[in-house]
Structure formats: structure tokens, C-alpha cells
Amino acid sequence: MARLRVAVLISGRGSNLQALIDACRAPGFPAEIVLVISNVADAGGLERAQRSGIATQVIDHRGFQGREPFEDALDAALRAARAELVCLAGFMRILTAPFVTRWQGKLINIHPSLLPKYPGLDTHARAIADGAAFAGCTVHYVVPEVDAGPVIVQASVPVRPDDTAETLAARVLTVEHRCYPLALQLIAENRGDA
Ligand code: GRF
């Protein structure tokens, strides 16, 4: 079967993008990254993509009058690349319901908490403040409600007594880098089941 054509949307350093790039490089992996889009021109992840010979595009939301034309530009770029799946990887724009509905079942995200715990920002600080025993990450399908949607893969890590938000984030990130490629593989191997 042809490899699943994947686009990755980023806004920053792109360590999850790197994990996806590395996974796709493995012989026999059922997906390939055909395009990386960033809404931030100097996002570090763009260089990671370019180093791997992957096409990149900057679509700066500030160049558009509102979310709808920005999302139309995203949609046009994704269609032009014939993307079959879109992975949000540290993409820091909320996508509106019309865009999400257009891509529903083909749009996934990684979030640094064990959803439904801690949707939104500052997940690690909130887990520590609550005295949570475990933190983790979730790869899920995107639905119009933010950080909701069917879970594909989750992994947990312990919260240690001396953790700061930074040390916990670093521990969670190591499992993010395993979960996102696994989720991509599961989807690519089970096409049509979304
Ligand atoms: C990750 O923690 C991810 O879960 C969240 O944003 C962060 C992105 O990091 N959505 P990176 O750009 O992939 O390194």
C-alpha cells in the first residue's frame, strides 16, 4: 500500500516533528511527511524539516484578516500537497470548527497531559500543584472542542516529589516522542478506521 501522506503543523522547536521524521525514515514505515507548515517564520522545526529534505511552508496568521482566511490558506496548502493526515505538533493556533470539521478524522494532535486531565496550557505546573502521582501525554483526534476528541495513544510518567514544571515537561517529552510515531503508525496501518 502507498505510504500515507502526512502534513505536520508546527509553531516552535519541533522535537515531536523530529520524532515523526525519524520514524518515517525507517524502512517499511507506512507514512511519509510531504509538507511541514509553520505559522511562525523562525520556528526551529522548519530547519529540522529542511535538513531532511521535506518541503516547508510558512503561513503567518498575522498576514490574514481573521481566522477564516488563515485557515483557508492552510486548507489550500494541505490540499495542494495532497495530505491525507494532518499532525499538529506544537501548533499554537486554535483551529475553528469549520476547519476541524473539514479535516475531522484526518487531524490529530499531541497534548502534554493525560487527557481529559489538564486541557489547555501549563499542564505540568497544574499537575504538580494538584499533587498528581502521574503525568503524561495524549495523542488524539481533533474535534471542535479544544483538547478533546478520541484518544489514539496515551503514556504516563511518574511525577517526582522534587519536580518542577521544567523537569516534568522533559520527562513527558521523552514519552511524547514515542507516542506520536506510534499513533501515526497505528493510523497508517488501519486506514479508513478513523
Ligand atoms: C509538546 O509538549 C506538545 O505536546 C505540545 O507542544 C509541545 C511542542 O513541542 N502540544 P515540540 O515543538 O514538538 O518540541
Nearest to 95 by CA among 59, 137, 46: 59
- Which residues does 80 contact at the CB level (< 8 Å), separation at least 6? none
- Which residues does 124 contact at the CB level (< 8 Å), separation at least 6? 112, 135, 163, 165, 166, 168, 169, 172
How far lies 185's CA from each of 101, 148, 167, 173, 194, in Å?
23, 21, 28, 19, 13
Pocket of ligand 1 (CB under 6 A): 12-17, 89-90, 110-112, 137, 173, 176
For residue 124, indicate whether it is catalytic: no
Q: What is the pLDDT of residue 155?
A: 98
Nearest residue (CA) to ligand 1, atom 5: 90
Residue-wise pLDDT tens digits, 170-194: 999 999 999 999 999 999 999 854 4
Which amino acid is it at 33?
I
Considering 111, 124, 140, 177, which one is annotated as catalytic? 111
Nearest residue (CA) to ligand 1, atom 14: 15
For residue 18, the ligand 1 atom closest to its alpha carbon is: 13
For residue 16, the ligand 1 atom closest to its alpha carbon is: 13
Q: What is the pLDDT of residue 191?
A: 81
User: How many angstroms is it from 97 CA to the middle of ligand 1?
Assistant: 22
Tell me which of 9, 11, 15, 109 to substitute to probe ligand 1's pocket, judged by most ligand atoms within 8 Å of the beta carbon.
Answer: 15
Residue-wise pLDDT tens digits, 46-81: 999 999 999 999 999 999 999 999 999 999 999 999
Q: What is the pLDDT of residue 194?
A: 44
- Answer whether 4's CB lies under 8 Å from 32's CB: yes
Nearest residue (CA) to ligand 1, atom 1: 90
Cell of 42: 523562525
- Answer whether 16's CB lies under 8 Å from 90's CB: yes
Confidence check: pLDDT of 41 > 80: yes
Residue-wise pLDDT tens digits, 91-143: 999 999 999 999 999 999 999 999 999 999 999 999 999 999 999 999 999 99
Provide long-range contacts, Cβ within 8 A and 24+ apart, for 57-65: 61/93
Give 3-state DSSP helix, strand, coil % of the chain, rounded to 5.
40, 20, 40
**For the chain, what's the residue count?**
194
Going through 125-167 in order, the beta strands assigned E by DSSP cover: 134-141, 151-158
User: How many angstroms is it from 123 CA to the middle of ligand 1?
Assistant: 12
Please state the pTM of the whole predicted model: 0.96
The class level of CATH for 4-189 reads alpha beta
Q: What is the pLDDT of residue 193?
A: 43
User: How many angstroms is it from 27 CA to the middle of ligand 1?
Assistant: 26
Q: What is the pLDDT of residue 1?
A: 80
For residue 172, the ligand 1 atom closest to its alpha carbon is: 2
Q: What is the pLDDT of residue 192?
A: 53
CA 3 – CA 32 distance, rounded (Å): 6
